[in-house]
Amino acid sequence: MIDAATKRVFIQEVSVRDGFQIEKKFVPTEQKVELINGLSRTGLAKIEVTSFTSPKAIPALADAEAVMAAIDRVVGVEYAALVPNVRGAARALASQVDEMNLVMSASRTHNLANLRMTPEQSLEQFAEIVRVSGGQAAVNASLSTAFGCPFEGEVPDTRVFELVQRLADIGIDRVTLCDTTGMANPAQVHALCAAVKMRWPHVVFTAHFHDTRAMGLANALAALQAGIDRFDASLGGLGGCPFAPGASGNVCTEDLVHMFDAMGCATGVDLEVLLSWARRMPGIVEHDVPGQVMKAGPSSRRYPVPQGLGSGGEQQRLAAADPASTYHRGAG
Ligand code: COA
Ligand code: ZN
């Protein structure tokens, strides 16, 4: 077991990108901006603000430039955006993102379905982006379907290793391993994360899990135990790739922060403030959301003791009725 108390983890919010991209309702630009500005003041390390994809492919994020132009830039928060190709990179740089999150899939079929390119073509785009961007923004690469593909099934670890090396060769030293449709299990996550950490110690790895099969938090814990300290997560547990059949919500940000808090792991995030924003999410997307802590309250929540149970008189009455009870021994 890890020594959680010595750990600092970094929480990277993706609800406004991974979350909203799959919503039927177009969330108005002002509402996106208000939410991002609120989230910027919760202690999150990074916010993936939007994506510079084709507005035909992702109409929900067609307002990328307007959102980037309107948000506050809070010191200490990195503002990232998803980028699928050279055209998207030019748009992202014009909007002065702190980080371009280049996306490709470990599996060929999902790359074709999502981006209409082969993985090789994506790598060519990435090399060109790194060349033309000249360090104006940090570059992260997200590897979708790194733990399994909804079309092809198993994705061998060796395929992920090959791609991490190809990315490193291009000069990309930030890599996110994405479980796009919640196929990963904790044993697999631990093995893959430990292996990439060992092989590429200079690469900053992020884990990106979807809770499609209720393994999201378990997978996050397994990644933590393997030495990963950066986690993508989505407020309320929204999320999913529209081009991956069966995709559903990311690991829920406030549930993840709550778990790390409870373990004594430092997240830097103010859970109460985060929860106040999470509770707005159902109103914003106009449906219920999967997040659990927003409904149950944190584990520190206490309820009033049922009437009569709190008084000494009641304890005496119970003890008289049941001579074997602990009340005779004065146990509290
Ligand atoms: N931003 C805006 N428009 C873009 C663009 C970008 N980054 N890249 C391409 N386009 C436009 C082209 O200008 C063209 O417009 P037109 O029809 O008005 O002429 C149109 O999109 C098609 O261009 P093309 O290069 O042929 O792209 P494509 O149809 O092969 O689609 C992608 C490729 C990558 C642009 C598209 O598949 C995409 O945006 N995918 C994103 C998927 C995604 O975000 N998934 C969820 C995250 S995992
Ligand atoms: Zn995702």
Q: How far is the CA of 142 from the centre of ligand 2 (A)?
A: 9
CB 317 within 8 A of CB 323: no
* Residue reference for tokens 């996106």: 32
**Ligand with an atom nearest the CA of residue 233:** 2
Residue with CA at minimum distance from ligand 1 atom 7? 88
* Ligand 1 contact, 21 CB (< 6 A): yes
Continuous segment of H or E residues that includes residue 104: strand 99-105
Convert the pLDDT of each residue in 2-40 to its tens digit.
Answer: 676 668 999 999 999 999 999 999 999 999 999 999 999
**Ligand 1 contact, 241 CB (< 6 A):** yes
Q: What is the pLDDT of residue 311?
A: 63
- Each residue of 315-327: pLDDT tens digit? 566 566 665 544 3
3-state DSSP call for residue 300?
A: coil
Q: What was the pLDDT predicted at 325?
A: 46
Given the candidates 1.10.10.10, 3.40.50.1000, 3.20.20.70, 3.20.20.140, the CATH classification of the domain at 4-296 is: 3.20.20.70
**Which residues are 231's β-sheet partners?**
11, 207
What the block records as the tokens of 4 is 């959680």
pTM exceeding the 0.95 threshold for the entire prediction: no
Q: Which residues in the chain come in under a pLDDT of 50?
A: 325-332
Which DSSP helix (H) or strand (E) runs through 176? strand 174-179
Helix (H, G, I), strand (E, B) or coil at 233: strand
Share of the chain above pLDDT 70, in %: 91
Which residue stretches of the chain are H helix?
Answer: 29-39, 64-70, 86-94, 108-115, 119-133, 157-170, 186-199, 216-225, 253-263, 271-278, 281-285, 293-296, 312-321
- Cβ proximity of 255 and 295 under 8 Å: no
Task: Give residue 229's pLDDT.
Answer: 97
Q: Which atom of ligand 1 is nearest to the CA of 21?
A: 46
Could you give the 3-state DSSP secondary structure of residue 153?
strand
Neighbours of ion ligand 2 (CB under 5 A): 18
Q: How far is CA 97 from CA 49, 60, 123, 166, 251, in A?
A: 9, 19, 21, 24, 24
Closest atom of ligand 1 to 142 CA is 48
Q: What is the pLDDT of residue 265?
A: 96
User: How many C-beta atoms lie closer than 10 Å to residue 39's C-beta?
Assistant: 25
**CATH 3.20.20.70 placement within the chain:** 4-296
**Which active-site residues does the annotation give?**
241
What phi and psi, each to the nearest 5 degrees, are found at residue 257? -60, -40
Asked if 84 and 55 count as a contact pair (C-beta separation under 8 A), the reply is no
Say how many Å lie between the CA of residue 232 and the centre of ligand 2. 8
Tokens read off for 156: 């061998």
